[in-house]
C-alpha cells in the first residue's frame, strides 16, 4: 500500500496501539501472561516459545483486535499459514494451497464478526476499523479483513521470537542477566540490544519504481531488492563489536530504540516503519519484568539443542528452560470456629 490510502489507514491502526489504548493494553498483557504462565511455574520448566511465547503473542493480539480468545488455536493455525505465505521466498504448490486455504478460512471467520461490529461497535480495533472512513467512505469488509490480517501477522509473528531471544541472550551472558535482575531499569536496553543483534524480522522486500543507482549498484525498474535488516544491524561501521551482545553498548541509544530515530533497523525505517513499536516495547518489557523474578535460577534445559529457523522472520524453534519451581499458592485455611458453609447447588451437582 502506498500514498494517501497508506497514510489514512496507517493513522487508524496507529491510534489503536498508542496513548490511552496502550495503557489499557498493558493490563491485558499482564493478565494474559499471568494466566498462561501459571501451569508451568510449579513444574520448574517451560518452553518459552511453544508453551508460552506463541500463545501469549496471539492472546494479546486477539485482545487488542477484540476477537474471541476461545478461538485462539484455530486463529493461530490460520495466522501461521498466512505468515508462511508472506514470509516464504519459495513455496511448493501444496503449501501454497494450504496457506491460501488458511486465508480463506480466516476471512470466512472474520466476516460475521465484522458485520456484528458494524451493527454494535465496541472499543476494540476491529470496531474502529469498521467505523473508520477513507476518502469519506467507510472501508469495505475486504479492506477491514485485510487490515486485521496485517495486524494479526505483524503483531504476533515477531513478539514470541523477541521474548525468547532476550532470555537466550541473558542466560548466555550471566553477568548481564545478574545486572538486569539487580536493576530492572536495564531491561529496555536488553530488549533493544536483542532487537539489534537478532532482529526477528530479518529482511524487507521492496520493488524499485524506476532504474536506480544504489550504493554503486544499478537496480533496474521492477527489480525486487531485499533490504537485509539482520546484516545492517551488524554493520561494523555502525556498531563496535557488532556480533557481541552487550546491553551496555554506548552506540545503540536505548531511548530512541523504539522510535523513528532508532539506530538499529529492527522496526524498519521510513514511511512503513513498524506502527507497533511502542506496543511491542510495552509487551516485551512487561512480560520480561514479570518473568525475571519468577524464573529464579533460570537456565537452558540440559538435553535441549538450540536451533533457529526462518529467513524473512527468524527465531528459535523452541527454548526449553529450567528454573526453581514456584510453589502453588495454598488456599487460606478456613478458621475452625466458623461454621462450614452449606454446599452450593453448583458444588452439589458437580
Ligand atoms: C518486536 C516486535 C516487532 C518487530 C521487530 C516489528 C518489525 C516490523 C518491521 C521490520 C516492519 C516493516 C517495515 C517496513 O516495511 O519498512 C513492520 C511493519 C509493521 N508492523 Fe511491526 N514489528 C513488531 C511488532 C509489531 C506489533 C506488536 C504490531 C501491532 C501492534 C506491529 C504492526 C506492524 C504493522 C501494521 C506494520 C506495517 C506498517 C506499514 O506498512 O506502514 N508490529 N514491523
Closest of 183, 181, 158, 187 to residue 275, by C-alpha = 158
pLDDT, the chain, mean: 90
pLDDT digits (tens, 9 = 90+) for 319-331: 999 999 998 766 6
DSSP bridge pairs for 5: none
CA 178 – CA 22 distance, rounded (Å): 30
Residue 69 banded pLDDT, cuts 50, 70, 90: very high
Cα–Cα distance measured from residue 205 to residue 96, given in angstroms and rounded to the nearest whole number? 19
**pLDDT tops 90 at residue 267:** yes
Check if 106 has its Cβ closer than 6 Å to any atom of ligand 1: no
Write down the pLDDT at residue 16: 77
Taking Cα atoms as reference points, which of 53, 73, 57 lies closest to residue 65? 57
Residue 119 has pLDDT above 50, yes or no: yes
- The three three-digit cell numbers of residue 170, written as one number: 541473558
Q: Residue 342 has what pLDDT?
A: 38
What tens digit of pLDDT does each residue of 222-253 get?
A: 999 999 999 999 999 999 999 999 999 999 98
pLDDT-derived band at 123, boundaries 50, 70, 90 = confident
Ligand 1 atom at shortest distance from the alpha carbon of 283: 27
- Residue 328 Cα, ligand 1 centroid: separation in angstroms? 37
Q: Is 17 in the pocket of ligand 1 (CB under 6 A)?
A: yes
User: Any idea which of 135-149, 199-213, 296-310 has the lowest mean pLDDT?
Assistant: 135-149
Q: What is the pLDDT of residue 19?
A: 77
Residue closest to 107 by CA, chosen among 115, 310, 203: 115
Distance CA 208, CA 222 (A): 5
User: Tell me: the pLDDT tens digits for 158-178?
Assistant: 999 999 999 999 999 999 999
Give residue 264 CA to ligand 1 midpoint distance, Å. 14
pLDDT of residue 210: 96
Rounded to an integer, the average pLDDT of 149-166 is 93
The predicted pLDDT at position 178 comes to 98
pLDDT of residue 338: 47
Say yes or no: CB of residue 204 within 6 Å of ligand 1.
Answer: yes
Q: Is the CB of 152 under 6 A from ligand 1?
A: no
| Contact 274 CB / ligand 1 (< 6 Å) | yes
Mutate which of 1, 60, 67, 274 for ligand 1 pocket (most atoms within 8 A of beta carbon): 274
Atom of ligand 1 nearest to the CA of 206: 15
299/320 Cα distance (integer angstroms): 9
Q: When comparing pLDDT for 97 and 333, which is higher?
A: 97
Q: From the CA of 294, how far away is ligand 1's center (Å)? A: 29
| Atom number in ligand 1 closest to CA 284 | 1
Q: pLDDT for 173-200, tens place per residue?
A: 999 999 999 999 999 999 999 999 999 9
Q: What single-letter DSSP state applies at residue 144?
A: H
76 lines ligand 1 (CB under 6 A): no
Question: What pLDDT is recorded for position 11?
Answer: 84
* Ligand 1 pocket check for 273: Cβ under 6 Å: yes
How many contiguous H segments (helices) and E segments (strands) does the chain have? 12, 11
Q: What's the CA dihedral at 163, 167, 173, 175 to 10 degrees? A: 100
Which residue, by CA, sits nearest to atom 21 of ligand 1? 274
Which atom belonging to ligand 1 lies closest to the Cα atom of 6?
Answer: 41
Q: In ligand 1, which atom is closest to the CA atom of 1?
A: 40
Ligand 1 in reach of 280 Cβ (< 6 A): yes
pLDDT of residue 158: 94
Q: How many whole angstroms from 148 Cα to the centroid of ligand 1?
A: 13
Q: Which of 12-21, 94-103, 107-116 has the lowest mean pLDDT?
A: 12-21
Percentage of residues in the chain with pLDDT exceeding 90? 72
C-alpha 34 – ligand 1 centre gap (Å): 25
Pocket residue to mutate for ligand 1, from 57, 160, 276, most atoms within 8 A of Cβ: 276
pLDDT of residue 343: 37
Q: What is the CATH number of domain 3-201+233-326?
A: 1.10.630.10
Looking at residue 340, what is its pLDDT? 42
Q: What is the pLDDT of residues 202-229, one digit of tens each?
A: 999 999 999 999 889 999 999 999 999 9
Amino acid at each position: 500500500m502506498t500514498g494517501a490510502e497508506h497514510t489514512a489507514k496507517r493513522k487508524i491502526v496507529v491510534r489503536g496501539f498508542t496513548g490511552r489504548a496502550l495503557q489499557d493494553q498493558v493490563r491485558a498483557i499482564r493478565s494474559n501472561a499471568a494466566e498462561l504462565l501459571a501451569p508451568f511455574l510449579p513444574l520448574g520448566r517451560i518452553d518459552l516459545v511453544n508453551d508460552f511465547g506463541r500463545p501469549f503473542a496471539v492472546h494479546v493480539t486477539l485482545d487488542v483486535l477484540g476477537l474471541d480468545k476461545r478461538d485462539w488455536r484455530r486463529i493461530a493455525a490460520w495466522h501461521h499459514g498466512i505468515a508462511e505465505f508472506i514470509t516464504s521466498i519459495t513455496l511448493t504448490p501444496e503449501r501454497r494451497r494450504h496457506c491460501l486455504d488458511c486465508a480463506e478460512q480466516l476471512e470466512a471467520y472474520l466476516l460475521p464478526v465484522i458485520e456484528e461490529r458494524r451493527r454494535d461497535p465496541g472499543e476494540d480495533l476491529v470496531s474502529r476499523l469498521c467505523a473508520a472512513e477513507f476518502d469519506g467512505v467507510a472501508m469495505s469488509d475486504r479492506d477491514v479483513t485485510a487490515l486485521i490480517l496485517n495486524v494479526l501477522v505483524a503483531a504476533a509473528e515477531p513478539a514470541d521470537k523477541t521474548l525468547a531471544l532476550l532470555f537466550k541472550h541473558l542466560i548466555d551472558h550471566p553477568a548481564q542477566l545478574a545486572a538486569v535482575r539487580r536493576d530492572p531499569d536495564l531491561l529496555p536496553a536488553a530488549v533493544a540490544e536483542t532487537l539489534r543483534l537478532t532482529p526477528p524480522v530479518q529482511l524487507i522486500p521492496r520493488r524499485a519504481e524506476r532504474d536506480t543507482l544504489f550504493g554503486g549498484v544499478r537496480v533496474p525498474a521492477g527489480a525486487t531488492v531485499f533490504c537485509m535488516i539482520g546484516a545492517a544491524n551488524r554493520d561494523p561501521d555502525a556498531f563496535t563489536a557488532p556480533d557481541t551482545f552487550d546491553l551496555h553498548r554506548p552506540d545503540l541509544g536505548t531511548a530512541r530504540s523504539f522510535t523513528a530515530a532508532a539506530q538499529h533497523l529492527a522496526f524498519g525505517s521510513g514511511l512503513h516503519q513498524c506502527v507497533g513499536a511502542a506496543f511491542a516495547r510495552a509487551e516485551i518489557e512487561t512480560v520480561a519484568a514479570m518473568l525475571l523474578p519468577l524464573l529464579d535460577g533460570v537456565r537452558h534445559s540440559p538435553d535441549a539443542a538450540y536451533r533457529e529457523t526462518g529467513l524473512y522472520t527468524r527465531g528459535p524453534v523452541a527454548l526449553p528452560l529450567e528454573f526453581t519451581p514456584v510453589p502453588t499458592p495454598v488456599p487460606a485455611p478456613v478458621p475452625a470456629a466458623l461454621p462450614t458453609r452449606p454446599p452450593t447447588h453448583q458444588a452439589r451437582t458437580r
